[in-house]
């Protein structure tokens, strides 16, 4: 009887010894194989990655198209301003002839030289300041392009960019208005009206005042465009809520322009 018990125990131990490695092997196989949930998460991550890459590529292409359009618009504005100046040149030639005849009638040589010099400065000043405004608008547009790309990136990340998109539209409208105002200013003509010698001072002051006020209006339009882009950058900062916004979403500082004609 004792012998049978010993044999039974030996068989049981052998069976247990054979089962344990088999169970371990089965567990190892199960742990090596990813669960359905893990596989699903990996697929979702891969799909999201592909989606983000596709959206980034779409944003990049849209930026390239917009950059080309901005360059075309700038070139069109430059050509239009040149045409305005050419048309103004013919008009100014006729007015200058009449101006010179009246100028020759002046007896005071010193006053004659001052008036002639100021008359020559006025058109040059208007051209210089309007070119300056056009350059400022170009910088503002470039800043808007960078911020708009950031807005598109934030949208692809699932951020709420509704306010930012509305601000982008408002900024584009402000820039278009400023461009139209600068373009109109480039075509303005300023002529000193000579009547009598004793009224020369007031005639010169009137023309200088008109030029200054017109340039101030154009400057305000450019400032409005800058303010619109600056407001947009603040909205984007609030969405990002981080220091990374400081370098990429700030438009260039607004250069000052103080038109003045010296005697």
CA atoms within 13 A on the CB side of 142: 11
Which tokens go with 19? Answer: 């089962």
Residue predicted with more confidence, 164 or 113:
164
Give the DSSP H or E segment for 99. Answer: helix 36-104
Residues across the chain = 263
Contacts of residue 203, Cβ cutoff 8 Å, sequence gap at least 6:
192, 193, 194, 195
Q: Please give the Cα distance from 221 to 219 (Å, whole number).
A: 5
Average pLDDT, the chain: 76
Q: Highest mean pLDDT range out of 42-56, 69-83, 87-101?
A: 42-56
Look at residue 22 and tell me whether its pLDDT is greater than 60. no
Contacts of residue 250, Cβ cutoff 8 Å, sequence gap at least 6:
143, 233
Q: Please give the Cα distance from 123 to 186 (Å, whole number).
A: 9
Which class for 246: exposed (0-12), middle (13-18), buried (19 or more C-beta within 10 A)? exposed
Q: Please give the Cα distance from 192 to 115 (Å, whole number).
A: 8
Q: Please give the Cα distance from 180 to 186 (Å, whole number).
A: 10
What are the distances in angstroms from CA 225 to CA 134, 170, 252? 12, 9, 12
Residue 15: band (very low, low, confident or very high) from pLDDT cuts 50, 70, 90: very low
DSSP 197: G
Model confidence pLDDT, tens digit, residues 169-204? 999 999 999 999 999 998 888 888 777 777 778 888
Model confidence pLDDT, tens digit, residues 210-238? 999 999 999 999 999 999 999 999 999 99
pLDDT at 64: 74
Model confidence pLDDT, tens digit, residues 145-164? 999 999 998 988 888 999 99
- DSSP per-residue letters across 148-168: HHHHHHHHHTT---HHHHHHH
Q: Please give the Cα distance from 214 to 126 (Å, whole number).
A: 10
pLDDT at 74: 67
Look at residue 86 and tell me whether its pLDDT is greater than 80. no
Residue predicted with more confidence, 156 or 20:
156
């Amino acid at each position: 009887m004792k012998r049978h018990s010993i044999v039974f125990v030996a068989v049981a131990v052998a069976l247990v010894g054979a089962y344990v490695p088999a169970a371990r092997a089965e567990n190892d196989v199960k742990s090596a194989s990813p669960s359905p949930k893990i596989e699903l998460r990996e697929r979702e991550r891969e799909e999201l990655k592909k989606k983000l890459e596709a959206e980034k590529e779409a944003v990049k292409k849209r930026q390239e198209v917009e950059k080309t359009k901005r360059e075309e618009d700038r070139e069109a504005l430059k050509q239009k301003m040149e045409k305005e100046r050419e048309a103004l040149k013919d008009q100014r030639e006729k007015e200058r002839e009449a101006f010179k005849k009246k100028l020759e009638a002046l007896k005071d040589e010193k006053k004659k030289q001052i008036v002639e010099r100021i008359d020559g400065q006025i058109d040059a000043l208007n051209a210089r300041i309007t070119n300056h405004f056009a350059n400022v608008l170009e910088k503002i547009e470039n800043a808007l392009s960078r911020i708009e790309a950031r807005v598109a990136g934030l949208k692809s990340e699932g951020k709420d960019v509704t306010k930012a998109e509305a601000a982008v539209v408002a900024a584009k409208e402000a820039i278009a208005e400023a461009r139209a105002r600068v373009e109109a200013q480039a075509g303005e003509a300023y002529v000193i009206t000579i009547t009598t010698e004793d009224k020369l001072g007031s005639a010169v002051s009137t023309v200088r005042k008109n030029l200054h006020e017109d340039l101030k209006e154009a400057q305000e339009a450019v400032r409005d465009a800058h303010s619109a882009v600056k407001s947009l950058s603040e909205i984007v900062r609030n969405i990002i809520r981080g220091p990374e916004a400081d370098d990429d979403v700030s438009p260039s500082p607004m250069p000052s322009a103080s038109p003045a004609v010296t005697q």
